[in-house]
Amino acid sequence: MASTPAPPRAELARSHTPLLAGGSTRRSAAPESSAPQQKGGWRTLLAGGGAGAIDCFVTMPMDTLSTQMQLKRFSSPIATAEAIIAAKGVAGLYAGFVPFLIQSSAKSSVRFFSFEMLVNAVDYWLPGQRKANPGFWALSCGLGAGAVEALALTAPTDRVKVLSQAMSAQKGVPISALELVRQQGLGGLYTGALATALRQSSSVAVRFFCFGSIKAGACEALGHDEKHAPAWVSFLAGGTGGAVSVCLNNPIDVAKSKIQAGVSPGIISAVRETVRERGLIGLTSGLSVRVPRLFLSQAIQFTLVDQFKRLLQNC
């Protein structure tokens, strides 16, 4: 009896959609080894890292201002900048630059890669679910990606960065990561880790949710293909997600800064202390700087990740 010819390899290929395009994949009977049409993996890591590094150079001064405003009673961003420059010159605006550069580049890389892996896992094990409930799965995968990012990178690097920024408006040499470990052990790098994880996971969830929803809505209204949307659409969608996430979780960010600067021992005590000293308005400290900074930061990152991944498809 003649054997049935094997199906062409093309029929066995498993298709994937771009990480940021909002599409879904289908689950086959078994895992496939064929190359996906839209390549991710190391390309996503590289694209995220490059976007995070560029973002750091642009937005670092605004991050220093917001941290100082959360820790001390400066009346405005201008007054904060004047105090920092008077103490340490313009370089003071870049206090903690090295850990911030490492953090910004690495965490952006990990964030987008983790989100991609979680999205692919949902598409594989629950085919069709993400397409049916895109908002829910954007939030869920964003929460997971944010938690991974926070515990792997953000908590320890933020600890060193905040300590450096806390001294940016006064004389003295900022503490280094090695000195912190020597004094407090590795656990010293994870002071405020819970607050960092809460802030980061909620932020990332909101950013991916807003990005996907706004990009899809804009493309549908303007007749663009999401996979090839203009850069300004990604810029607007990413920036809006960043701004909204800041407004929703600024209180936990205020608490995180106080804990990591050594001012408060925990989240509840940090919130109580802030409200007692400044009233509820104290929980909005730094918001006037954080909103434009995170709008610009996330606009840059989402736009550049989109563009870099397209450039890397032929590699």
Amino acid code (one letter) for 113: F
Q: What is the pLDDT of residue 70?
A: 86
pLDDT tens-digit readout, 299-308: 999 999 999 9
| pLDDT-above-70 percentage for the chain | 86
pLDDT, average across residues 30-50: 74
Q: What is the pLDDT of residue 67?
A: 85
Q: What is the pLDDT of residue 251?
A: 95
Residues with Cβ within 8 Å of residue 300, at least 6 apart in sequence: 51, 54, 55, 58, 59, 235, 238
Hey, how many other C-beta atoms are within 10 angstroms of the C-beta on 120? Answer: 18
Q: What span, in angstroms and rounded, lies between the C-alpha atoms of 24 and 139?
A: 15
Q: What is the pLDDT of residue 34?
A: 43
* Residue that wins the pLDDT comparison between 221 and 10: 221
For residue 278, count CB atoms less than 10 angstroms from its CB and return exposed for 0-12, middle for 13-18, buried for 19 or more. Answer: middle
Q: What is the pLDDT of residue 74?
A: 85
Q: What is the pLDDT of residue 20?
A: 55
Q: What span, in angstroms and rounded, lies between the C-alpha atoms of 285 and 254?
A: 7
pLDDT tens-digit readout, 128-151: 999 999 999 999 999 999 999 999
pLDDT, average across residues 37-56: 92
Q: What is the pLDDT of residue 170?
A: 67
pLDDT, average across residues 70-76: 84
pLDDT, average across residues 75-103: 88
Question: DSSP of the chain, one letter per residue?
Answer: -PPPPPPPHHHHPPP---TTTT------SS---SPPSS--THHHHHHHHHHHHHHHHHHHHHHHHHHHHHHS--SSHHHHHHHHHHHH-GGGGGTTHHHHHHHHHHHHHHHHHHHHHHHHHHHHHSTTHHHHSHHHHHHHHHHHHHHHHIIIIIHHHHHHHHHHHHTTTSSSPPPPHHHHHHHH-GGGGGTTHHHHHHHHHHHHHHHHHHHHHHHHHHHHHHT--GGG--HHHHHHHHHHHHHHHHHHHHHHHHHHHHHHTTS-SSHHHHHHHHHHHH-GGGGGTTHHHHHHHHHHHHHHHHHHHHHHHHHGGG-
Q: What is the pLDDT of residue 39?
A: 84
Q: Highest-confidence range of 32-41, 169-178, 233-242, by mean pLDDT?
A: 233-242
Average the pLDDT over each of 14-18, 85-89, 181-185, 199-203 and give the range with the smallest value.
Answer: 14-18
Domains of the chain, start order: 38-314 (1.50.40.10)
